[in-house]
């Protein structure tokens, strides 16, 4: 296992001898029905254009809402990526999705609202340069604090996808240090979304990084997709006994095991669940090759699964659902059965909870993944 996961980087001496970050803790949620575990959702600001306002979320089932995304400029300035959606559009009786979320919190005092900075593609394009410069890191922390305070939010989520070499991993920790000074615990929550692949995680000294963070949002999905030439489950909880590709070695459990091995407290790990499926058309069951993808960019939202004419299955060995047939071919995703498995995994192993990308792609009762997670986590 050590050869597969690879070596970890030694922590810089000053971080060991002069820690600035808080000790391990869980946020105290006083609402009786929320109890202890995090059950969080991401809300992407562009979903308001799909007629999915913040009010479409079910706040009675979630503890944290991550608002995606703010972006960062080359000088380190954190800014709102879509001012119209974020602060101006008429929605839910107010102006802007951020104010709409504030209204949700007024009615649900236990809710924690967190601004997520970064995301895939353009959202993360300047992180490496910003994290490498002390002045830019200070600007990042100061402007992030300004936005959090301006909209009465509870904290920040850093979604740098992702430090790609050991030096960027060191700079990532410098960035966390700067942000934590501007957003001190316990007043503010600081989280970071990280990939589940050790090819990315090994670039960060997580035994040091976790001290600055309340939670690590482990993106335990996108294991298989159009970037590889064989089909597979994209969010499996366990690796199969006989993996047919390098991607098949990845799993939620393998990532959690790695984090635990390098010293991250299990209570700080939030296991990510996708509310979308990945499609593989023309699958050759002998070679594992496929000919294309269905859906928008090869994906279908969970609320649209299983596809018409397709039959749904669950592989309980690996903890993955899939459907075969219709316009999606082979589609890998999570369903209530696999979410129950993952929520049970969280409670049995003492993880911090679950999060979903995204809250607005979920289905309604009785197939709701967010509802299934909440009931399983809290035994209700």
C-alpha 87/C-alpha 126 separation (Å) is 24
Residue 30 within a domain:
yes
Q: Give the pLDDT of residue 51.
A: 97
Total number of domains in the chain = 1
Q: Give the pLDDT of residue 212.
A: 98
Residue 284 within a domain:
no
CATH of the domain at 176: 3.20.20.80
Name every residue whose Cβ is closer than 8 Å to that of residue 24 and which is 6 or more positions away in sequence.
Answer: 210, 265, 267, 268
Residue 208 within a domain:
yes
305's enclosing H/E stretch is none
C-alpha 380/C-alpha 371 separation (Å) is 10
Q: Is 79 helix (H, G, I), strand (E, B) or coil?
A: strand
Q: Give the pLDDT of residue 25.
A: 33
C-alpha 60/C-alpha 111 separation (Å) is 9
Q: Give the pLDDT of residue 162.
A: 94
Name every residue whose Cβ is closer than 8 Å to that of residue 56 and which is 6 or more positions away in sequence.
Answer: 360
Of the candidates 12, 40, 9, the residue with the CA atom closest to the CA atom of residue 346: 40
Spot the catalytic one: 83, 129, 138, 161: 161
* pTM of this structure: 0.91
Residue 193 within a domain:
yes
Q: Give the pLDDT of residue 87.
A: 98
371 is catalytic: no
Residue 299 within a domain:
no
267: domain range?
2-275+334-377
Residue 125 within a domain:
yes
Answer left, alpha or beta for residue 99, where phi above 0 means left and psi between -120 and 50 means alpha.
Answer: alpha
Residue 327 within a domain:
no
Residue 315 within a domain:
no
The half-sphere exposure of 279 on its side-chain side, counting CA atoms within 13 A, is 23
Question: For each of the chain's 380 residues, which pLDDT tens digit applies?
Answer: 222 222 223 333 333 323 333 333 333 333 444 448 999 999 999 999 999 999 999 999 999 999 999 999 999 999 999 999 999 999 999 999 999 999 999 999 999 999 999 999 999 999 999 999 999 999 999 999 999 999 999 999 999 999 999 999 999 999 999 999 999 999 999 999 999 999 999 999 999 999 999 999 999 999 999 999 999 999 999 999 888 888 889 999 999 999 999 999 999 999 999 999 999 999 998 889 999 999 999 999 999 999 999 999 999 999 999 999 999 999 999 999 999 999 999 999 999 999 999 999 999 999 999 999 999 999 98
């Amino acid at each position: 296992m050590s050869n597969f996961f690879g070596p970890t980087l030694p922590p810089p001496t000053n971080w060991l001898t002069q820690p600035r970050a808080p000790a391990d803790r869980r946020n105290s949620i006083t609402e009786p029905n929320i109890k202890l575990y995090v059950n969080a959702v991401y809300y992407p600001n562009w979903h308001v254009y799909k007629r999915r306002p913040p009010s479409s979320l079910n706040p009675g089932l979630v503890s944290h809402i991550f608002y995606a995304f703010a972006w960062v400029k080359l000088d380190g300035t954190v800014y709102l990526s879509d001012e119209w959606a974020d602060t101006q559009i008429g929605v839910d009786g107010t102006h802007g999705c951020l104010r709409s979320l504030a209204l949700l919190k007024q009615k649900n005092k236990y809710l924690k609202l967190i601004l997520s900075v970064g995301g895939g593609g353009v959202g993360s394009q300047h992180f490496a340069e910003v994290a490498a410069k002390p002045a830019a890191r200070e600007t990042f922390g100061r402007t992030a604090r300004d936005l959090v305070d301006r909209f009465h939010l509870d904290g920040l989520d850093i979604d740098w996808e992702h430090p790609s070499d050991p030096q960027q991993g060191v700079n990532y920790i410098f960035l966390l240090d700067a942000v934590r000074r501007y957003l001190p615990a316990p007043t503010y929550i600081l989280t970071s979304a990280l990939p589940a692949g050790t090819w990315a995680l090994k670039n960060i000294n997580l035994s040091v990084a976790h001290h600055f963070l309340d939670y690590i949002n482990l993106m335990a999905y996108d294991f298989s997709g159009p970037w590889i030439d064989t089909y597979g489950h994209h969010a499996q909880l366990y690796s199969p006994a006989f993996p047919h590709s390098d991607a098949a070695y990845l799993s939620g459990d393998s990532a959690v095991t790695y984090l635990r091995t390098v010293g991250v407290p299990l209570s700080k790990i939030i296991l990510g669940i996708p509310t979308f499926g990945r499609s593989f058309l023309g699958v050759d069951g002998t070679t594992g090759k496929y000919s294309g993808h269905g859906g928008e960019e090869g994906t279908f939202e969970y609320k649209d699964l299983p596809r018409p004419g397709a039959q749904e299955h669950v592989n309980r060995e690996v903890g993955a659902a899939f459907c075969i047939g219709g316009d999606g071919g082979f589609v890998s995703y999570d369903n209530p059965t696999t979410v129950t498995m993952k929520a049970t995994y969280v409670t049995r192993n003492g993880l911090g909870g679950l999060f979903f990308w995204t809250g607005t792609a979920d289905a309604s009762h009785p197939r709701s993944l967010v509802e299934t997670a909440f009931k399983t986590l809290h035994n209700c």
